[in-house]
A = this chain, B = another copy of it.
Amino acid sequence: MGEPKCIHTEPELSLENNSTQEKIIAAAHKLFTQKGYAATKTREIAEEAGINLALLNYYFRSKEKLFDMIMADNMQQFVLGLAQITNDKATSYQEKFALLASSYTDLLLNQPEMPIFILSEIRNNPVGLFQRVRLDKIILSSNMFEQVKEAMKRGEIQQINPMHILMNLLGLTVFPFVASPMLKQFGGMNEGAYRDLMLERKKMIPLWVAALLQVKAP
């Protein structure tokens, strides 16, 4: 009854691992993301992965440890792109808007339940989860917001709190995925039609955000 070979010492979410470990991670990722931590049972994960229940604790010590890995991976995917794109000095802020809308739309078309999962789990654990991926002031002091502030000074765009820009960009991009079950119902749309709508938005959002920047506060 030895410890597993190299799992507990390097508990990172990698894909070139043992096959059963992969199966567990894949099943856990699917179920946790779909239903959240509390609603997902260890026996469900084992069944979905097609493995014996005890292997879950053998490889990951506990449900919570397994969850933390899935969550960290989701968080990283969700916020790492943000930091990278906003800090690329080779692009203008308009190009960054387009890149953000584009890359987030692509990401969410493949993993539509990621943001609602992250946001609903964060509310239960507001502390600690951000310590790994600490973006405290990385966003507001990013190259993108420096460029935006410069454009404000030049009078190219209206004076506005940069947080509004971030909220508008993410709101326009992410919200349709967060609220997709409700919005599909509102529009009487199927999966395909909804997807097409998202692809339309991918092109429109940069134009929309640019237009918002021209609106003057009353």
Point out residues on A near B: beta carbons under 8 Å.
34-39, 113, 116, 118-120, 122-124, 126, 130, 135-137, 139-140, 161, 163-164, 166-168, 170-172, 174-176, 178-179, 181-183, 185-189, 197, 200-201, 203-204, 207-208, 211-212, 214-215, 217-218
Q: Which of A166, A167, A217 is the most central at the interface, judged by chain B CB atoms within 10 Å of its CB? A: A167
CA distance A163 to B185 in the complex (A): 11
Contact A167/B176 with A130-B185, A140-B187, A182-B122 known, Cβ cut-off 8 Å: yes
Task: Give the interface SS of chain A, mostly helix, strand, loop or mixed.
Answer: helix
What's the minimum C-beta distance from A73 to chain B, rounded to whole angstroms? 16
Contact B185 A135 (CB under 8 A): yes
8 Å CB contact of A38 from B36, B123, B167, B182: B36
A189 to chain B: closest residue by CB: B163
8 Å CB contact of A120 from B36, B170, B188, B215: B36
What's the minimum C-beta distance from A115 to chain B, rounded to whole angstroms? 8
User: What residues on B are CB-neighbors of A186 within 8 Å?
Assistant: 135-136, 139-140, 163, 166
Contact B168 A179 (CB under 8 A): no
What's the minimum C-beta distance from A181 to chain B, rounded to whole angstroms? 5
> 14 new A-B pairs (CB below 8 Å) besides A136-B188, A171-B175?
A116-B120, A118-B182, A120-B120, A136-B186, A163-B186, A163-B187, A163-B189, A164-B204, A172-B172, A174-B175, A203-B217, A204-B217, A211-B211, A211-B214
